[in-house]
């Protein structure tokens, strides 16, 4: 019998994304870092500003015009790994990113998203791709849903990943 909590996928309640050419939205809408800050402060009592950022050895490798960079943000066994893939030939293609948390109490998150080019702001126009979560119980899930709602002003809806 498998007692591991089910892996859930966000199916509705996505963060609002900036409209094309809406530079005010690009800089003002909350994104993944906003959520991570709220989660780590509420669940662990630590701000991202207090967590060191370390680039993984071998990070920055280039394969077929795509550079992959991997960063670990965290301390004391709590944090996240962020993997970024961007084209070195053109900025017209989006930068793809994946964030995986570690050490959060009773919660695992993996979030894939991309950042589109936003003029002089660079790759900063957030676009959600996929978020999966594993909650140890309904209390943790409800707590996370409350954090999500405070950050993005929308309730997340999850279903079992399939």
pLDDT digits (tens, 9 = 90+) for 56-91: 877 778 888 898 999 999 998 999 999 999 988 888
Q: Under a CB-based contact definition with an 8 Å cutoff, are residues 132 and 9 in contact?
A: yes
Q: Under a CB-based contact definition with an 8 Å cutoff, are residues 114 and 95 in contact?
A: yes
Per mean pLDDT, which range of 5-9, 114-118, 155-159 is the poorest?
Answer: 114-118
Residues in a beta bridge with 110: 100, 132
Q: How many residues does the chain have?
A: 162
Tell me the backbone φ, ψ of residue 25, rounded to 5 degrees. -65, -40
* Apex 54 CA angle, 148 and 35, nearest 5: 5
- Work out the average pLDDT over 98-115: 95
Residue 151 pLDDT > 90: yes
- Work out the average pLDDT over 113-121: 79
What confidence category does residue 13 fall into, taking pLDDT thresholds of 50, 70 and 90?
A: very high
């Amino acid at each position: 019998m498998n007692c591991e909590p089910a892996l859930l996928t966000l199916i509705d309640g996505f963060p609002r994304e900036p409209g094309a050419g809406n530079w005010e939205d690009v800089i003002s809408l909350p994104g993944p870092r906003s959520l991570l800050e709220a989660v780590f402060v509420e669940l662990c009592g630590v701000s991202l500003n207090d967590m060191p950022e370390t680039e993984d050895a071998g990070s920055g490798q280039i394969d077929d015009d795509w550079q992959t960079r991997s960063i670990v943000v965290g301390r004391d066994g709590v944090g996240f790994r962020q993997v970024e893939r961007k084209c070195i030939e053109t900025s017209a293609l989006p930068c793809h990113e994946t964030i995986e948390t570690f050490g959060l109490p009773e919660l695992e998150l993996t979030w894939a998203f991309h950042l589109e080019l936003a003029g002089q702001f660079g790759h900063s126009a957030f676009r959600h791709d996929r978020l999966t979560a594993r909650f140890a119980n309904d209390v943790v899930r409800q707590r996370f849903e409350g954090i999500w709602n405070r950050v993005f002003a929308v309730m997340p809806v999850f279903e079992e990943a399939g």
